[in-house]
Amino acid sequence: MRIPMQASKRGEHGYPLLFWYVSRSWVSSLLFSLFILGGGLGLYLWWGRFSTDNSPDSLLGYAFAFGGIACFLLAGICYSLTRRARRKAIGKLNAALNWHIGFGLMGLGLLILHSFGNFNPRSGTYALYGMLALVMCGIVGKGLDRLIPRLIAREVRKALTGSGEDRIERISQKLQALTEERDPRQQARKSPDNLSLSGLLFGEGRPGESMHGTPVGAIRERSLAGVSLPPSWDLAYITLEETPHELQPRSGSTGQQAPNLKRQMRELQVVQLALQKEQFYRYVLRYWRALHIFLALVTLGLTIWHIIYALQILIPTWMDH
């Protein structure tokens, strides 16, 4: 069963945020969980009508306890083995995650039935609260695992061009080109009519060479050694001021390039904000998984504490019999 995908705008591609795909593993895990919980609830009601021993240490209470612990063990072990498997088939991890949640819900339901309504402030109640927090954290994490990758894909789409190239690099190249066109010194260096002293002495032919092909370092050494300028260079025409050709870009193109610069800067800010959101979404997903693992360890410790506490009470009773 697949819900048809609808795009909100023409030209958009990909899954919507609220897209829901009902897979076979999801249906199977849901039906099996409802069957186990329904059967456990039926046994609970039948036991309450025909038995007077309605306590966690009754025969049915032990059955619920073992069944709940078994479900939690299956939830943790099966998912961990599937995630660490070297050969991962398509969809297997998602199916294992569905069964992971299903076993968690079954285990929580059976342990609630195991309590028989006894929620006194004892070790078992604390362990049950830990399992409840663990299951709720897993359900919220499942929702985040579906939603956050789509949010990340939406932000990544803003940081890429239509052809899949890096948009920041494209904007940086445009900004560099606009800056070079706006900077009169860059234009003056590229102009052959430059008559300023720096252009005559150290013009840009190739990197490290002057306009006449002589290395810049050699010209500096010659000037420092007292070598006179060539006869064709009249000192009367050499000025330290910027030439009219150097000042020309300031008057004509500055007003036209300012809107382009602002537009490119706005686009750059949009891309940077998108990358920051993407990083934030990744951290949310990562730390939520860490929180789930932490709750699992806390719940395991509370469960072991409850089992040891219960055995200290039950073993002397069994020995007396």
Q: What is the pLDDT along the chain (321 residues), one digit of tens a residue?
A: 444 444 444 445 566 666 667 788 889 999 999 999 999 999 999 988 888 888 888 889 889 999 999 999 999 999 888 888 777 666 688 888 899 999 999 999 999 999 887 777 778 889 999 999 999 999 999 889 888 988 888 888 877 766 666 666 776 766 677 666 655 555 555 554 444 444 444 444 444 444 445 554 554 444 444 444 444 445 454 455 555 555 555 545 555 566 776 776 777 777 788 888 889 999 999 999 999 999 999 999 999 999 998 888 877 777 776
pLDDT score at 294? 96
Is residue 144 domain-shared with residue 289, that is, in the same domain? yes
Q: How many Å apart are CA 1 and CA 20, to the nearest integer?
A: 10
Out of 252, 271, 290, pick the residue that ends a domain: 271
In a domain, 52, yes or no: yes
CA angle at 275 for the pair 272 and 279, rounded to the nearest 5° = 140
In a domain, 1, yes or no: no
Q: How many Å apart are CA 210 and CA 204, to the nearest integer?
A: 6
Q: How many Å apart are CA 65 and CA 70, to the nearest integer?
A: 9
In a domain, 169, yes or no: no
Is residue 28 domain-shared with residue 145, that is, in the same domain? yes
Cα four-point dihedral sign 258, 260, 264, 266: positive
Is residue 125 domain-shared with residue 28, that is, in the same domain? yes
User: Which amino acid is present at 165?
Assistant: E
User: Which amino acid is present at 100?
Assistant: H
In a domain, 306, yes or no: yes
Which two three-digit tokens encode residue 191?
């102009």
Helix axes 24-50, 92-115, angle to 10 degrees: 10
In a domain, 12, yes or no: no
Q: How many Å apart are CA 56 and CA 62, to the nearest integer?
A: 7
Out of 255, 271, 287, pick the residue that ends a domain: 271
Give how many domains the chain has, as a whole number: 2
Give the residue among 50, 174, 68 at the shortest CA–CA distance from 112. 68
Is residue 154 domain-shared with residue 289, that is, in the same domain? yes
Is residue 265 domain-shared with residue 288, that is, in the same domain? no
Is residue 105 domain-shared with residue 45, that is, in the same domain? yes
Domain hosting residue 155, numbered range:
24-164+275-320
pLDDT score at 106? 95
Is residue 213 domain-shared with residue 259, that is, in the same domain? yes
Is the CB of residue 108 less than 8 Å from the CB of residue 75? no
260-294: burial string, b at 16+ Cβ within 10 Å, e else? beeebeebbeebeebbebbeebeeebeebeeeeee
162-198: burial string, b at 16+ Cβ within 10 Å, e else? eeeeebeebbeebbeebeebbebeebbbeeeebbbee
In a domain, 107, yes or no: yes
Is residue 113 domain-shared with residue 239, that is, in the same domain? no
Is residue 194 domain-shared with residue 155, that is, in the same domain? no
Is residue 57 domain-shared with residue 37, that is, in the same domain? yes
In a domain, 123, yes or no: yes
Give the residue among 116, 106, 122 at the shortest CA–CA distance from 72. 106
Residue 88 CA neighbour count, 13 Å, CB half: 15
Is residue 71 domain-shared with residue 97, that is, in the same domain? yes
Out of 271, 294, 310, pick the residue that ends a domain: 271
pTM to 2 decimal places:
0.66
In a domain, 8, yes or no: no
Is residue 205 domain-shared with residue 84, that is, in the same domain? no
